[in-house]
Amino acid sequence: MFTFAHCDPIKNNTDHTGKVSEQLTKREQDYAKWYNDLVLKADLAEHSEVRGCMVIKPHGFAIWEKVQRALDDMFKATGHVNAYFPLFIPRSYFAKEASHVEGFAKECAVVTHYRLKSDPDKGIIVDPEARLEEELIVRPTSETIIWNTYRNWIKSYRDLPLLVNQWANVVRWEMRTRLFLRTSEFLWQEGHTAHATKAEAEEETLRMLDVYARFAEEWLAIPVIKGRKTPGERFAGAVETYCIEALMQDGKALQAGTSHFLGQNFAKAFDVLFTNKENVQEHVWATSWGVSTRLMGALIMTHSDDQGLVLPPRLAPVQVAIVPIAKNGEQLQAIDAYVAPIVKALKDRGVSVKYDNDDKKKPGWKFAEYEFKGYPVRIAVGPRDMENGTVEVARRDTLEKSVMQAQGIAEKVEHLLEAIQDNLYQKALQHREDKTHAVDSYAEFKEAIEKGGFVLAHWDGTQATEDRIKEETKATIRCIPMEGGAKPGKCMVTGAPSAQRVVFARAY
């Protein structure tokens, strides 16, 4: 859209002569490379030299902070409070819930020593004498340490429900990593609630699934399918796992959040009992639920394009960038004065705005920078605008530009931001609908999976059939959807009865 002879949009990538988006791999060419390039060039994150761990750079972290704030407000509005539990879990606790440890054992970072020392030959080494009696696991998730703590917090039905969330870093050792999507260390929130009855715990599980779905749709502008996981895809230690599933632009699915009904599994493993109203001791019922920095991957892959990042206005760190186009200092001063009331009017409406009158950078550099980094709206003001009482407004989602009257511009921009938020959601929804197909035969299924997207098909409910499909097509059952009605049919593979169609896709 913009072309300039000299611009250097990314601070830390030297030797640009064209705009950075021209150096971005096109999605059609290589989607995976496009994604990785974009994350790096838009200064969202990068690989660290520590195997599997990423650095979340300031622009990426500013988006994550917005995600955190919005989710945290939603958790608090549903009665939850935050707390903080230890990073380390003793090996013995971790082993108490059998299926839980089985699920996580292969990806645990283990602390075995607590001191370094200086060695005359080898330099700084781990002090072999400072070995821990019991090894500590760096938490991959906190059910075990939390339920070990809840044992002392819960005595009576009056202590229930206990509705606690934690924002934390967790570690799951990964051999092959991708920025935001799969990293050894990631940031997340994990809710851990305790209830007096099974019904209350089930209700909480679904309440938080709804919170996640609402957040995905209203903030991330990502339509999601809510559903149950099959037994083979359940969280290790859960009785039932629910999830929200989103579809990326390349037709692959991404699990964007999970909410688990844990039954009494952890209460039994950690002896968490309460006295009910009838004065009888019972095991407590549990849920846990989480979303992570993986959401950043979903956000990027849903909306961004070959020109760079596209951000929904509600999560954009800065919603409006204003760029003056001045030939000299005098003109710049005049534009400063012209723009000041616009900035104020936008801020008064709660719009975040950056007026970039740094004269060390050229307008072309700024246009390319703000476009590439996904600022939803860019306003340009030049001498002719001042003469005409106008400004030029560009929206990032459609790349359309238009000249508007400066009078009343704040209100118009506010509406434009809402329109962009809505447009991104509608576009993603349309894409998902275009890429969702119901099929009846396994042959049709294979063909549909090859094309990408969600495929709705009947399945006989067995692990064996699920495994066979996965092996033969690389498609997994994303979920058993909760909406759209359950019409019975016959399994596309075995012909055995099926209660309803389930959602298949290849997935991240």
392-451 residues near a second copy, rule: CB under 8 A: none
By the rule CB under 8 A, 90 interacts with a second copy: yes
Choosing from 108, 224, 410, 424, the residue that interacts with a second copy (CB under 8 A) is: 108
By the rule CB under 8 A, 277 interacts with a second copy: no
Choosing from 26, 84, 199, 402, the residue that interacts with a second copy (CB under 8 A) is: 84
Are the C-beta atoms of 200 and 234 separated by less than 8 Å? no
Which CB atom, from 267 or from 493, has the smaller least distance to a second copy? 267
d(CA 99, CA 95): 9
Are the C-beta atoms of 142 and 88 separated by less than 8 Å? no
d(CA 484, CA 297): 27
Which CB atom, from 170 or from 381, has the smaller least distance to a second copy? 170
By the rule CB under 8 A, 135 interacts with a second copy: yes
Q: Rounded to whole angstroms, what are the CA distances from 424 to 218, 300, 320, 342, 427?
A: 11, 12, 17, 26, 5
C-alpha of 371 from chain center: 22
Q: Assign 338 to helix, strand or coil.
A: helix
By the rule CB under 8 A, 6 interacts with a second copy: no
Which CB atom, from 156 or from 430, has the smaller least distance to a second copy? 156
**In the complex, least distance from residue 105 CB atom to a second copy, rounded to whole angstroms:** 4
By the rule CB under 8 A, 17 interacts with a second copy: no
Which CB atom, from 56 or from 321, has the smaller least distance to a second copy? 56
Binders of a second copy among residues 348 to 387 (CB under 8 A) are 360
By the rule CB under 8 A, 200 interacts with a second copy: no
By the rule CB under 8 A, 196 interacts with a second copy: no
Choosing from 171, 221, 267, 325, the residue that interacts with a second copy (CB under 8 A) is: 171
Number of residues in contact with a second copy, rule: CB under 8 A? 73
Choosing from 24, 67, 89, 291, the residue that interacts with a second copy (CB under 8 A) is: 89
Binders of a second copy among residues 304 to 343 (CB under 8 A) are none
By the rule CB under 8 A, 105 interacts with a second copy: yes
d(CA 326, CA 38): 31
Binding mask 42-71 for a second copy (x = CB under 8 A): ----x-xxx--xxxxxx--xx-xx------
By the rule CB under 8 A, 32 interacts with a second copy: no
Are the C-beta atoms of 47 and 179 separated by less than 8 Å? yes
By the rule CB under 8 A, 148 interacts with a second copy: yes
Round the CA-based radius of gyration of the chain to a whole number and report it: 26
The region of 154-162, 244-252, 397-405, 417-425 touching a second copy under the rule CB under 8 A is 154-162
d(CA 427, CA 440): 28
Tell me the two tokens of residue 291.
């979303």
By the rule CB under 8 A, 124 interacts with a second copy: yes
**In the complex, least distance from residue 121 CB atom to a second copy, rounded to whole angstroms:** 14
H/E element, 267: helix 265-269
Tell me the two tokens of residue 73.
């407000």
Are the C-beta atoms of 323 and 381 separated by less than 8 Å? yes
Binders of a second copy among residues 282 to 311 (CB under 8 A) are none
Burial class (CB in 10 A: 0-12, 13-18, 19+), 504: buried
Closest by CA to 373, choosing from 13, 4, 6, is 13
Burial class (CB in 10 A: 0-12, 13-18, 19+), 77: exposed
